[in-house]
Amino acid sequence: MATLNLNLAFICLHILAVCQAQHVKVELEVTGFLGSQAILRCQFVDPDESLKVTQVSWMKDSAGTKVNLAVYNPEYGTHYAPAYEGRIQFRQVSLRDATLVIGQLEMGDDGIYSCEFATYPDGNQEAATNLTILVEPVNSGKALLVKAGPAEVPLAVCTSANGKPAASITWKRDVAGNVSTTQTKNTDGTITVKSHFTAVPSGMLDGETVTCEVTQRTLEQAASIPIALSVQYSPIVTIEGYDGNWYLKREHASLTCNVKANPAATEYKWLMNGGPVPDSVEVKGHQLTVTEVTYDFNGTITCEAVNSIGEGHDKMDIIVREQEASQLSNAGAIAGGVIGGILALLLVACLVGFFLHKRQRDAAASSYDPKTRVFGERNGAPQPDYTYRPDSDSEKGPSLTATTTASAEAHQPAEAENLLQIQPPIYANSEDAESASGKGPVFARRGTHPEMEDDMESQHDGSIISKKAVYV
């Protein structure tokens, strides 16, 4: 029961304080930059003027204890604390407006301030304002010089020093790594933030850029700080300049020894097949020039580079040709052109022959006499033409005359008889014999020429034609 009474009393007191505070109007939070001024507004609102104000004052909460800063009493005037003399003052002397101006802000001015009005008959009424001093930090970033190795170490640090409130730091990067951030509160109330970018250091990371960005309440926009990483490593060597066309007596063939190193290489050395280079070589640091190419340069050329961290090297295999590569390629191109021209001519000749042959064949086919059979040629020799003679002696029956083109032109019957000797017809029966005596048409049944006998066929009009020949 006693506990309940105490709780009710606490609630009543709290409600009373809130009701009283409704007359005192302040800003809950005020910010000010170090070295500038801050205005703490405080007004007493009593529309019906039911309360009488006798005094106004400002106090600061310092370690749980309130310390008087400024007081105004119509009877005793205005009073300021000696520690703030010359830096604080009422904006205007009034029992209704107690706005306080603090100039040349210091870090010690950060804290909670109470504005209090002494009234009658309700007593003192107050409201609190939190004054926050803002300090723009000093931002910086730098690379940490490290040596290449297998363990992850910090490569860059970004610092936002002596700021208030604490800054936030982020990293933008294209390389793999991790980030660790720490905060340190300084004795004056400012905060220093440090962020480290860590990764496994290697020569590939040397010169890579990472960017830290700092954001803080006092900054209009984020501060962006690019940092070029610095990793010390032994030389990485590559030989350039060999074009694969080193031929005998070529002049001024050169090679370049390109080296990436941190710190820079301090010594270069050229070797030929593991030993000294020939006398016809001019060496100037990372540059090697051959005054005249000989077979002595067949083999492997090595370039070695040294710095304070270590040594690196690269090798290049050299092949010395008898002739310049361009000449060999030109000869090949000429030979290819000649062969191509010959093939083209052969193709044209074949096409011409084909079309001439086709033309002759078409011409021969178009001149065919329906009563003439053309056997063509066999084994390159002209074959006999068998032509039906309509004016042959009817009593003797139709006759077959064997001729060749050559025999026709020379009018030599003997040669025709040599090509094909026609024997007297052989009749299969007496009816055929009777026909042969003039009683009817005579049909040749069989000749002595075997090929003609198999090929020839009698027709109803008395003609004899080939079974195999093609007529057009």
d(CA 131, CA 338): 98
What local confidence, expressed as pLDDT, does residue 351 receive? 81
Across the 472 residues of the chain, what is the mean pLDDT of every consecutive 10-residue run? 39 38 88 93 90 94 86 93 90 92 92 94 93 95 94 96 96 94 93 97 93 95 96 95 93 92 93 90 91 92 94 94 71 63 81 78 59 46 50 45 42 43 47 46 45 60 61 46
What local confidence, expressed as pLDDT, does residue 192 receive? 97
What local confidence, expressed as pLDDT, does residue 36 receive? 93
> Do the two domains 22-134 and 238-321 of this chain adopt the same fold?
yes
What local confidence, expressed as pLDDT, does residue 370 receive? 46
d(CA 398, CA 269): 112
What local confidence, expressed as pLDDT, does residue 336 receive? 66
Q: Most distant CA pair in the chain: distance in Å?
A: 185
What local confidence, expressed as pLDDT, does residue 456 receive? 66
The domain spans of the chain are: 22-134, 138-229, 238-321, 325-364, 372-466
Q: What is the CATH number of domain 22-134?
A: 2.60.40.10
In contact, 60 and 69? CB cutoff 8 Å: yes
d(CA 252, CA 291): 5
What local confidence, expressed as pLDDT, does residue 453 receive? 53
In contact, 99 and 40? CB cutoff 8 Å: yes
At residue 171, the 3 state secondary structure works out as strand
Reported pTM: 0.56
Q: At the fourth CATH level, which superfamily is domain 238-321? A: Immunoglobulins (2.60.40.10)
User: E strands, 200-351, where?
Assistant: 209-215, 223-228, 231-240, 246-247, 251-262, 267-272, 281-284, 287-292, 299-306, 311-318, 320-321
What local confidence, expressed as pLDDT, does residue 417 receive? 44
What local confidence, expressed as pLDDT, does residue 462 receive? 62
User: E strands, 297-442, where?
Assistant: 299-306, 311-318, 320-321, 372-373, 377-378, 381-382, 385-388, 400-403
Cross-sheet strand order for the sheet of 209-215: 168-172, 209-215, 223-228
What local confidence, expressed as pLDDT, does residue 404 receive? 42
Q: What is the CATH number of domain 138-229?
A: 2.60.40.10
